[in-house]
Structure 1
Amino acid sequence: MNSAFWTNTIWYILLGILTVTEIILFMIKTDKKCITLAFYLTVLGIALNFETIILIFLNAYAYYPKIILHAPLPFHDVLAGNLFSQFSVSATVVFVVVFNLKFYWYLIFAGIYGLIEELFLALGIYSHHWYQTWMTVVILLLAFWLGKRMYSGIMNGTKPLVYYLYIYLGLFPLSNITLAWGLMLSGHLDFCSTLIRDPIISRFFIEIVLFNISALASMVIYYSRFRKKLSILVFGMLYYLYYIGCKQHIIWIKDGWFLLVTTLLILWMYGSVVIMDFLYQKSKYRR
């Protein structure tokens, strides 16, 4: 075990243990476990979409967990640290909401995360570029308030458009973070680094565009009355999109793996829609 484990990685693992503990507690507390789990994925999707903007595109800060030391791209280690952070923050939001905690608990939890952030800065396992710790505190206070309203809306019934939005947001952690990122880490999938001047932004901009196209296409198929006929057309278009992307060197898929990788990406996304819909199935539409 290298020295980085005790100086860097261990702190992220402790944060992960805190996250798992919170998830276990709020899942024990709630009577509607499927909906609550789906809500956690939705909140996590919001956090990850927000982080995509400020971490990748706006370069707000960086994490140094020293977990992924031999990845094809060093930035993947930064992303790993970010995942520990966002899984934890999202779990705390749901924990506060499920236990219906009072406002002073909002202040306590937001303050704790502010202290954790300052600790990580002092340890040198995290750094700010233009971001400031007070922003985390303010964002969390808003997140607790918004999370409570969202959860109440889900339990009392949501409008169809809001329901579909929650499904869509949950696809980010279910599909993007699991399979797509895993394929990138394993060296089976990559994206053009020169479409935009910054190679990191270029890669992840393309990946996010493809994610959104695939997510929306899968949702259209799943919720369409003409699912069988439409699926052939839309899935065919997605295969063609990946094919053209590879031919134009916008998408890179390891030689000999095109059919398997694209099939996995397409079906995994569709399966993620099915999972989110299943978890949310006991919530009600408010028409």
Structure 2
Amino acid sequence: MSSYPDPRALGAFLRARRAQLTPQDCGLPTTDTARRVTGLRREEVATLAAISVDYYTRLEQGRVRASTPVLATLTHALHLDGAQQQHLYQLAGRTDDQPRHHRPPTPRIRPAMRRLLDQLTHTPALVLGKRLDVLAWNPTATALYTDFAAIPAPHRNYLRLMFTHPAIRGLHRNWAHDARDAVAALRMEAGTDPDDPDLARLVGELSVRDTDFRTWWAEHRVSSATYGTKHYRHPLVGDLTLDCDTWASPDHSGQRLMVLTAEPDSPTHDALRILASWTAQQTEPDPAKNTTR
């Protein structure tokens, strides 16, 4: 049975831990403004953990008991290792609810979806997972967007890249429209698993780093659109107008195939052929690279 020790000890641990971290440690923007506290501010920890500042303040003051989902988000926000996480749950009296110390397995791409992706040689295609993680891609998607294999897997998220990757952000001719739609898609996904700590960490990070994301997330706008039109400006082939369609996997895994196509004989269609030809001249693609596994 879970015990409930002195809540002041939990508050002391939280204060000590945030004092050990810098904004740079957590991917937060730096400013020239002098900081009045050592380490992270309460407001920054609250945002990273996707909880209110008032709630986090009461946690540090020992006036409220932390729930298990909140402890999970704090584990990520404060970059706790295995021992520190165990200590956090013990201080909160939640040892019975403590997760095992292992990362969830990376989602496996369904073989049929992998084959579809590999056979789409003249059009960009991605496999997206829950939270819009980029799980796999074909060479033409690399030519259009970026070399996904060069991006660390934990950062390989479509929405995160739209806000933080200069090349992908600059690719969108109407970035604000496309980014707001992507935020609405993630908000709808959040409704299926509101206690997902990885989702909370992503939302917290982007809320701190980008004012637009913070504003659009607070709107609670949702979207389940599976098709639309995207307008890009590519540095090699110029303006592109692409139809974007997504198909959900029938196994309820949350995976979806996103395909970008162009009207036949259009300038964009010709530009895609140039991109595909340019890709074919590169090193022979390695399917093992074009996936998270």
TM range (shorter): under 0.3
**Looking at both structures, which has the greater relative contact order when contacts are Cα pairs under 8 Å and sequence separation is at least 6?**
1
| Larger fraction in strand | 2
**TM-score for the superposition, normalised by structure 1:** 0.25
